[in-house]
Structure 1
Amino acid sequence: MFRLHPAFLELIYKSTVVFLNLGKPLILRSRIINRGLIFAERLFKKPVFDCQMCGQCVLHNTGMTCPMTCPKSLRNGPCGGVRNNGNCEVKPEMMCVWVTAWERSKQMPIYGRNINAIMAPLDRRLQDTSAWANQLSGRTEIIQDEWST
């Protein structure tokens, strides 16, 4: 997995949001473009973030660290079993994903404070779909709204 500076990734993310919003009407109507987004997400996000293709990407909220790489798939912070050295209780050789997320979020001037946001539970029906298409269509906001009411 490549380790790029979170502030750099944050700028790429923000630029991608602008670009995709410009193409939103076309993206939402075209299956070919949607499949292309899935391919692009796998091609880019897997080597950079070890993306698990959950379809509900929250990288900008988690220090550009994928919370789904946590052995317990926790999306709202550490489990409480973090070892004294910051490593995972399930995989002792691995740094806790949330320790990494917290440290990396401190380096993000735009979205760094989002580390404190509470995420909606994962909707497993969106597994292996495009997180970008789901965000543009509002599917991820519906989940957040339903959960928080």
Structure 2
Amino acid sequence: MRLFAVRHSRAFEWFYTRFESALVALDPLFRRVGYGRLERPVAAVEKLTKGLLFDCRMCGQCVLSSTGMSCPMNCPKNLRNGPCGGVRAGGFCEVKPDMRCVWVLAWDGASRMRGGSRINDVQPPADRSLEGSSSWLRVAREKAARPDAPSDAPRSAIARAFPQARDHEPASAPLAPEPASATDRESRR
């Protein structure tokens, strides 16, 4: 079913845009009932729906609309910002050779979407404390609280900061400078 969602990512994008607007419009009702009371039943429906359609892992921070309707949490390495570099020939996963790489599927799905360029946005690391919670309710609450903010404000802030960080720290992983005592051969004698 996951491949169906990727192949029809444009239709899912269209539906999700309207569904998200409806959730934001329902915020006053959600507040009256209480987000805490709604969490369990909505998370159960979300898990069933998104599990069936996208093989969702319920990370609580859904980025399907930015990743071509391919859930990045299906990656055995849980990579949220692109493939690991070990993608096998034909676009298969290096860890699970019989599975298509989640990110190959994501690029395919994003290429079909109007907002497909959002796949280039840098995603923050997964907050494991949100696992199992409803990202639908989180989106409704956050967007209703900031109606004039762009929908991708946190993501685009990270994406804007990333190139500047790379200018200052060009290594693939930030490296701390070696202490003088470790590099000074005279001090070891």
Identify the structure with bigger relative contact order (alpha carbons < 8 Å, sequence gap 6+). Answer: 1
Q: Which residue does the alignment assign to 2:20?
A: 17
After superposition, give the CA deviation of every residue in 1:38-70 in whole Å (9 maximum; x if it has no partner): 022112100100000000000000001100000
Bigger Rg, structure 1 or 2: 2
Letter in 2 for 1:51: C
Q: Which residue of 2 aligns with 1:100?
A: 105
Take 1:21 and 1:137, find their aligned partners in 2: how far apart are those partners? 7
Measured against aligned partners, the alpha-carbon deviations of 1:96-128 in whole angstroms (never above 9, x if no partner) come to 00000001111112x211111100010000000
Q: CA RMSD in A?
A: 2.0
Normalising by structure 2, we get a TM-score of 0.70
Alpha-carbon offset, residue 89 of structure 1: 0.4
**Percentage of identical aligned residues:** 44
Q: Is 1:51–1:69's contact at 8 Å kept on the other side of the alignment? A: yes
Q: Partner residue of 1:134?
A: 138
Q: Report matched runs for 1:1-149 at 5 Å.
A: 1=1, 3-4=4-5, 5-28=8-31, 29-109=34-114, 111-138=115-142, 144=154, 148=158
User: What stretches of structure 1 of length at least 5 have no aligned partner?
Assistant: none
Count of residue pairs the alignment pairs up: 144
- Contact kept, 8 Å, 2:68 with 2:107, in 1: the verdict is yes
Any gaps of 5 or more consecutive residues in structure 2? 144-150, 162-189
Task: Please tell me whether the aligned partners of residues 72 and 102 of structure 2 are also in contact (alpha carbons under 8 angstroms).
Answer: yes
TM-score (norm 1): 0.88
